[in-house]
Chains A and B, each alone.
Chain A
């Protein structure tokens, strides 16, 4: 996959995911922890009937569909649920590669309101990869039943990202979600992600790496994330870069 040619990179990746490379149609990715209701959101938006079930790992095949909102047709991709994008299992790689190299127009992270802290682990990792994302805080009815109240505005402010509360099963909040997606695709809704600050040693290493990477591969990619991956010794990414720049 060509890191130098971003659009062909996208096409290759989108093809790998069987997403038609019709670049007119905005591509929306659905990511999130397992069992948070991604497929339920997917079904509610697209009107399709992906199987859902109350156990983590129900969806293993990636699914796609389209939905229209205010005259624009969007392509929605249901990614496998993952707890993290670091642990290098097959599903995590798929989700990560799609979000990074597939460059979706918007990534919707579906989270479980009853266990926010745990979902934030993935949220902060996705935030490193892309600024173009929306946090869909699902299962709000369960949270209410369990007497968990979340200050949505404050959360949104703390993350620097729009947060949309939903009850996907009852199709509550989905219009807000579509509105946010549309706004972000049009470029009207922007984000100011508040990234995690790591400890001094890591931040210094990042400060050192990012400019050097930029002098080699330019500004196309999110270099901070790339630098993190290099520091992590992510062999796959190193190989990609190596193949690209060693000749």
Chain B
């Protein structure tokens, strides 16, 4: 599934990135390398962007960017 499909409160682990070039670099720099655990903290009042917990930081990503990240849902 895509990262934006995880629901608020749920966890998932990064499988791969579909982005290229600069966006890919940016996502990698945020720590979204394969194997990273992410959590959807909340969605913005208008539904987008979404706030994720990534490696101890809170990062807001729009659906477009979060859609470039393939994840596997993880039960916790």
Contact = CB atoms under 8 A, between A and B. Distances in A.
Whether A and B touch directly in their complex, counting CB atoms under 8 A apart, is answered as yes
Given A118-B31, A121-B31, A86 B55 contact: no
B56 A121 contact: no
A114 B56 contact: yes
A215 to B, nearest CB: 31
A115 B25 contact: no
B45 to A, nearest CB: 19
Would you call the interface of chain A mostly helix, strand, loop, or mixed?
Answer: helix
Interface residues of A, number: 11
A35 B25 CA distance: 21
B57 A86 contact: no
A114 B54 CA distance: 13
A87 B26 contact: yes
Nearest to B23: A87
A103 interface: no
B56 A118 contact: yes
Would you call the interface of chain B mostly helix, strand, loop, or mixed?
Answer: mixed
B: contact size bracket: 10 to 19
Contacts of B31: 117-118, 121
Contacts of A115: 55-57
Interface string B38-76: 000000000000000011110000000000000000000
A84 B29 contact: yes
A86 B29 CA distance: 8
Contacts of B56: 114-118
A121 B56 CA distance: 13
A88 B55 contact: no
Nearest to B56: A115
B1 interface: no
A114 B31 CA distance: 16
A15 B75 CA distance: 55
A86 B30 contact: no
B60 to A, nearest CB: 11
B27 to A, nearest CB: 10
Given A83-B30, A86-B29, A87-B29, A118 B22 contact: no
A118 B55 contact: yes
A156 B57 CA distance: 23
Contacts of A87: 22, 25-26, 29
Contacts of A118: 31, 54-57
A87 B29 CA distance: 8
5 contacts: A84-B29, A87-B25, A116-B56, A117-B31, A118-B54
Given A86-B25, A88-B25, A118-B55, 5 more contacts: A83-B29, A84-B29, A114-B56, A115-B56, A118-B31
Interface of A: 83-84, 86-88, 114-118, 121
